[in-house]
Amino acid sequence: MKALILGVDGYIGWPLALRLLNRGHEVAGADSFFTRRRVREVESDSAIPIGTMGRRLAALKENGLHMEFLRGDVSNAAFVYRLIEETKPDVVVHLAEQRSAPYSMLGLKQASDTMYRNVISTLNLSYALKDLSPGTHILKLGTMGEYGTPNIEIPEGFFDIEYKGRKDSLPFPKFAGSWYHWTKVHDSNNLMFANRLWKLPVTDVMQGVVYGTRTRDITDTSLFTRFDIDEVWGTALNRFCAQAVAGLPITPYGKGGQTRGFLSLEDSITCLTLAAENPPEEGEYRVFNQFDQHYSVNQLATYVKEEYERTHEGKAEIVHVENPRVEKEEHFYQPVSEKLRHLGYHPSGDLRVDLRSIMNDLEKFREKILSLKKVITPRTFWKSSSGLSEKPSGR
Amino acid sequence: MKALILGVDGYIGWPLALRLLNRGHEVAGADSFFTRRRVREVESDSAIPIGTMGRRLAALKENGLHMEFLRGDVSNAAFVYRLIEETKPDVVVHLAEQRSAPYSMLGLKQASDTMYRNVISTLNLSYALKDLSPGTHILKLGTMGEYGTPNIEIPEGFFDIEYKGRKDSLPFPKFAGSWYHWTKVHDSNNLMFANRLWKLPVTDVMQGVVYGTRTRDITDTSLFTRFDIDEVWGTALNRFCAQAVAGLPITPYGKGGQTRGFLSLEDSITCLTLAAENPPEEGEYRVFNQFDQHYSVNQLATYVKEEYERTHEGKAEIVHVENPRVEKEEHFYQPVSEKLRHLGYHPSGDLRVDLRSIMNDLEKFREKILSLKKVITPRTFWKSSSGLSEKPSGR
C-alpha cells in the first residue's frame, strides 16, 4: 500500500508514519510546520523535545526506514494537486488541519483562519482526488467532539429513526463546542457530499481524545512524537500527567463531570492503520467512532493522582479551575464504537499502566515541563473570544 | 426600527428595503455588487433592466424615501465592524452571500470562493455584533435546500426524537445538494454556536425558491428588482415564465419530479418583514421555514404552459433536458411551515394569477430574454465540476 500522510510532523502523523513504514508500506508525508510555528506563538513548546524534519528523516534512515517528505500547505490547491500527482497514493490520511479548539477560540482572526484552513484543505483534497485519482481512499481525521453531548446514544455517523410515523436513515445531528470542532463538522458534511457527487471512498474518523508518549514503534528518543501540555495546544490527560510529574496541581476545568471518549496513542495508530489497510467499499462513505473507553475528566484526574502517588514519595493535588469553555459539566454520554472492533481492534492496554508509563517518560523532561508552567493555566475563554484587532483574550 | 440590509442590491434585498422604508423604518444598506459582476462573467444579465445603485437611490428620493448606502464586502471583517459601528441597527438582515448553487459547482475555485465568502461573512457579523451590539437581531437567509429531501417530515430546525429508549430535542439533520447549499448549512451551524456562546438573537430563515417580478412596493419601472433566468444565476419558475414569453421551450431538469417549497417575491418580503418586526426572545436562536406551498418542477412547468396558453395565441412547449444536478427526481417531501403563520403570514396570492402577472411584466423584455437564450441551457454539470486550472465545465 502507498500511503500519503498529510500532517506527518504532528502528534498522530509521525507515529502513524512509523507504524505504516514498519508494516512494510510505502509512505510519503507532507507538512507545513503550522503547529510548530503556532505553538511558538503562544510561547509554548513540545514538552518532549523533537528534532527537525531533517533529523527525523535521518532517524528513520538509522532505523532502516525511508519516507519521502514534501513541505507545503494543503490549503494551497496547487500543492495538493502536485502531491497527488507525484505520489499517486492508495490512501491519503488527512491529519493536516488546525487541531486546537482553544486556538480557534482566541479571536475572530484565529476562528476565520481555522474555518478557511480546515474547510478548504478538505475541499482541495476532494477535487484533487476526483481529478487525478478517484479510487484513492480518503482517511480523514474528525473528532468525537462533532457530536457534542446529546441526551441519546451516539451512533457511528448515521442512525435509523422513526418520526411521525415515517422512517429514514439520516446523518446523526451534530453539535460541536468550538469553532475548531465545527470545522470538523463542516468537513464531514463536505466529504459526505463529495462522496455523493463523485463516489470518492471516504473513512471519516470521529476520534476521541488521545493520550500517551509512546507507540510500539517509538523505540528510541530520536523517534519521539511531540507532546503538548499548554492551555492552547495541549489536551486534558496528557496535561494531567505532566502536571503530576512536575509537582504542579492537576487542573480539571470546572466541575470535571465532562465525559469524553479517550484512547491511547498506541490505539489511535492501530485504528488508523486498520482503517487504511481495510478501505471502504467502492463509493462508500463510512464513519468510525474511534475511542477505547469514555471517562469523566474527574475520573482521569483521580487516576493520574493515584498512579502518581503509587509510584512516588510525594502527593499529587487536584485543583479545579474556572472552565474557559462553554460546555455541559454534567451530562449523559453513551457513544457507540463497534466498526473498528469488527475490523479487529482490541484496545492494547490498561489505562492505569499507560499512565505510569507516560509519567515515567515525562520524568526525564521535568525541567522542561516546569518551564512551560506559565502557559498551562487557561487564558483562552470561549465567551470572551476577541474581536477584530483586539489582543487575544486574557493576554 | 433601524434595519441594516446586507446585500441590498440583490433580488430580495432591494424590495425588502422598499418595504421597510414604506413601513416607516430607518434603513441602511450595503453591497459589494458581487452578483452584478459575476452575472456579467457568465455573459448574462438581469432580464429586467435595473439601474445603478446611484439611480436606485435617486428613484427612492423621487418616491420620498431615503436609504443610506455603504459599498463594501462583508467577507472583510473591518468593513463589517465599521458598518455596525456606523449604523447601530436593531436588526441586520444578512442577504449578502454568494447565492447561486450552479456558480458554486462550476469548479474548485468557485466552490472555495463560496465556502470562504459565505462562512466568513457570517462569522464576521457574529463577532462584530458580539463586540459592538450584542442585542441586535441577526436575520439570516438560509435555504430550504439545507434539509435536502429526507423520507420523513421536515420540521422547523429542531425535532423531538426518541432513539433507543431515550429522548432529546436536536437540530434536524441536514443534507444539502450543492457547495452553495452546504455553506448555508455551515452558516446555520456557526450561528447556532454563536448564539450558544454569546446569546446573540438569531432568526435563521430556511427559504423556498422565490418567484416573481413585483411586490406591492414596486410601483414604477425605476423600482424594479433584478430578474435572473440564466442557468447559473436564474431559478426554475422565473426561468419557465421567461421561456414561455419568449417562445422558447420550458425546460424542467431531468424527470421533473423534484419537489421544493416555493413562495412569491411579495410573500418573501412579507415574511422577512414579519421576522424583522417580531424579533426573537432574548438569547433565542429560532428557525423559520419560509415558503407558501410545495410543488414539483413538472407541476410548475405545466402551470406556466397553461397560463401562457390561456392568455396568448401560440402554444408553449415543455422539453425535459438532462439534469445537471445530482438530486433525486422522485421523492417524498413534506416540510412544515407554521411559525411565520403564527406571526400573521397569509400567502398573498394565487400562483396562477401570479404567473400571468409575471409573464405580463416580462412581455416588455422579450427581446432581452431572447438575447439571453444562449446562457439558459444548462452547462454546469455537478458531476464534472472543474478542478484546478481547468476551464469551467462545458465552456
Contact by Cβ (8 Å): A343, A274: yes
Contacts A187 to B, Cβ<8 Å: none
User: What is the C-alpha R_g of chain A?
Assistant: 20
Q: At residue B241, does pLDDT exceed 90?
A: yes
Residue A392 domain-assigned (yes or no): no
% of chain B with per-residue pLDDT over 70: 98
pLDDT at B318: 98
% of chain A with per-residue pLDDT over 70: 98
Residue A395 domain-assigned (yes or no): no
Contacts A326 to B, Cβ<8 Å: 196-197
* pLDDT single digits (tens) A308-318: 999 999 999 99
Interchain CB contacts (distance < 8 Å): A and B: 149
A385/B127 touch (CB, cutoff 8 Å), yes or no: yes
Among all chains, which residue has been given the C-alpha cell 442557468?
A: B231
DSSP-assigned states of every residue in A309-373 = HHHSSS---B--B---S---SS----B---HHHHTT----S-HHHHHHHHHHHHHTTHHHHHHTG
Q: Which of A153, A166, A192 sits opposite B153 (nearest CB)?
A: A166
Is A180 among the residues known to form the active site?
A: yes
Q: Which of A168, A173, A390 sits opposite B170 (nearest CB)?
A: A173
Give the nearest chain A residue to B184 (CA atoms). Answer: A186
Query: Is B169 in a helix, a strand, or coil?
Result: strand
* pLDDT single digits (tens) B374-394: 999 999 999 999 998 665 554
Residue A75 Cα distances to A27, A97, B103, B186, angstroms: 21, 9, 21, 18
Residue A388 domain-assigned (yes or no): no
Rounded to whole angstroms, how far apart are CA atoms B16 and B270?
8
Query: Is A241 in a helix, a strand, or coil?
Result: helix
Contacts A173 to B, Cβ<8 Å: 170-173
* pLDDT single digits (tens) B101-137: 999 999 999 999 999 999 999 999 999 999 999 999 9
* pLDDT single digits (tens) A153-193: 999 999 999 999 999 999 999 999 999 999 999 999 999 99
* pLDDT single digits (tens) A106-129: 999 999 999 999 999 999 999 999
Segments forming the whole domain that contains residue B161: 2-384
A92 CB-contact burial (10 Å; exposed 0-12 / middle 13-18 / buried 19+)? buried
Residue A315 domain-assigned (yes or no): yes
Contact by Cβ (8 Å): A1, A276: yes
- Indicate the average pLDDT of chain B: 97
Q: Kindly name the residue from A143, A213, A225, A270 that is annotated as catalytic.
A: A143
pLDDT band at A390 (very low <50, low <70, confident <90, very high): low
Q: Which of A77, A115, A116 sits opposite B388 (nearest CB)?
A: A77
Rounded to whole angstroms, how far apart are CA atoms B227 and B246?
15
Residue A321 domain-assigned (yes or no): yes
- Closest to A271 measured CA to CA, from A355, A187, A205: A205
Query: Is B138 in a helix, a strand, or coil?
Result: strand
pLDDT at A394: 46
Q: What is the mean pLDDT of residues A216-229?
A: 96
Q: Kindly name the residue from B140, B149, B183, B184 that is annotated as catalytic.
A: B184
B182/A176 touch (CB, cutoff 8 Å), yes or no: no
Residue B14 Cα distances to A62, B20, B51, B140, angstroms: 68, 10, 12, 16
Cell of A72: 507545503
Q: At residue A395, does pLDDT exceed 60?
A: no
Residue B96 domain-assigned (yes or no): yes
pLDDT at B391: 55
Residue A389 domain-assigned (yes or no): no
Cell of A33: 510546520
**Nearest CA to CA, how far is B94 from chain A (Å)?**
18
Among all chains, which residue has been given the C-alpha cell 507515529?
A: A15
Give the nearest chain B residue to A82 (CA atoms). Answer: B388
* pLDDT single digits (tens) A344-389: 999 998 999 999 999 999 999 999 999 999 999 999 999 999 998 7
pLDDT band at B289 (very low <50, low <70, confident <90, very high): very high
Q: What is the mean pLDDT of residues B299-306?
A: 98
Contacts B189 to A, Cβ<8 Å: 174, 176, 182, 185-186
Domain count, chain B: 1
Using H for helix, E for strand and C for coil, what is the string for B335-350?
A: ECCCHHHHCCCCCCCC
A78/B388 touch (CB, cutoff 8 Å), yes or no: yes
Q: What is the mean pLDDT of residues B275-292?
A: 98
Give the nearest chain B residue to A190 (CA atoms). Answer: B182
C-beta atoms surrounding B223 within 10 Å? 21
Q: Is ipTM > 0.95 here?
A: yes
Contacts B150 to A, Cβ<8 Å: 168, 170
**Nearest CA to CA, how far is A335 from chain B (Å)?**
12
Q: At residue B145, does pLDDT exceed 70?
A: yes
Residue B390 domain-assigned (yes or no): no
Rounded to whole angstroms, how far apart are CA atoms A317 and A305?
7
- Phi (first) and psi of residue A337, to 5 degrees: -145, 95
Q: Kindly name the residue from B122, B143, B213, B273 that is annotated as catalytic.
A: B143
The CATH number linked to A376 is 3.40.50.720
DSSP-assigned states of every residue in A257-324 = --EEEEEEHHHHHHHHHHHHHSPPPTT-EEEEEE-SEEEEHHHHHHHHHHHHHHHSSS---B--B---
Q: Which of A130, A131, A171 sits opposite B173 (nearest CB)?
A: A171
Q: What is the mean pLDDT of residues B232-260?
A: 98
pLDDT at A28: 98
Q: Is this prediction's pTM over 0.95?
A: yes
